[in-house]
Amino acid sequence: MNSRTAGAARRADAVLFDLDGTLLDTAPDMVTALNQVRREQGLAPLEFALARTQVSNGSSGLLKLAFPELEGEPFEQLREHFLTLYAQRIAVETALFPGFERVLSTLEQRAIPWGIVTNKPAFLTTPLVAALNLDRRAACVVSGDTLPERKPHPAPLLHAAEQIRVAPQRCVYVGDAPRDVQAARAAGMPALVALYGYLSPQDEPHAWEADALINQPRELLDWLELT
């Protein structure tokens, strides 16, 4: 774990998580749906490791990778078809990243509320979170269409803080993309980057000016001084 604020107070009153690539490993189900679309179009499946790097960029990022030549209405039609296929297998292989059950249990035992702030639309977020029984545990779930704004705008994070009744500066946000850090900074929250998430070789997380980079979920507990 690397921190640019060594020695600073680390304890927070609430923790907010990005969903895909931070809290949940959704890549297996999303890439399966993507490759089904490619097979239907007579194309070979993409390598999982390559497609995985685009999962945090949502359906548009994945479809641009799979069909770089498409644009306009044909692109949108294929994207909608992909979303339909993905919704049908929303939680077949998706699971918490290894070590996250301990993180969530520790937060709950310490009465530290945790929530989800994602750009994933509610029609996918709601059934996914429910399928993994996280809806009963999360203090709030803010989807990509809960508000008119999405990350990197700070509004979703500020809305989450308001829902759980914790001042933004007393929350910490964990994500795996530059927009996550940007949103947290704009909201006045410390930002942590999940290096185990869906980063590509071109990403430079050390340049994102996060408060810490964590290699695995349990390091969040160290940063929060809960171990």
- Residue pair 210/52 in contact by the 8 Å Cβ criterion: no
- Bridge partners for 192 per DSSP: 174, 212
Backbone angles phi, psi at 95, to 5 degrees: -155, 165
Looking up tokens 């699971």, which residue turns up? 95
Which residue of the set 18, 25, 203, 211 is catalytic? Answer: 18
Instruction: List the beta strands (DSSP E) in 10-65.
Output: 14-17, 24-25
Residue 214, C-beta contacts closer than 8 angstroms, at least 6 positions apart: 1, 174, 192, 193, 194, 195, 196, 220, 223
Contact 140, 19 (CB under 8 A): no
| Pair 24, 94: CB distance under 8 Å | yes
Q: Active-site residue 203, yes or no? A: no
174: CB partners within 8 A, 6+ apart:
15, 16, 17, 18, 22, 23, 180, 191, 192, 193, 194, 214, 220
Q: CB of 63 within 8 A of CB of 70?
A: yes
Known catalytic residues?
18
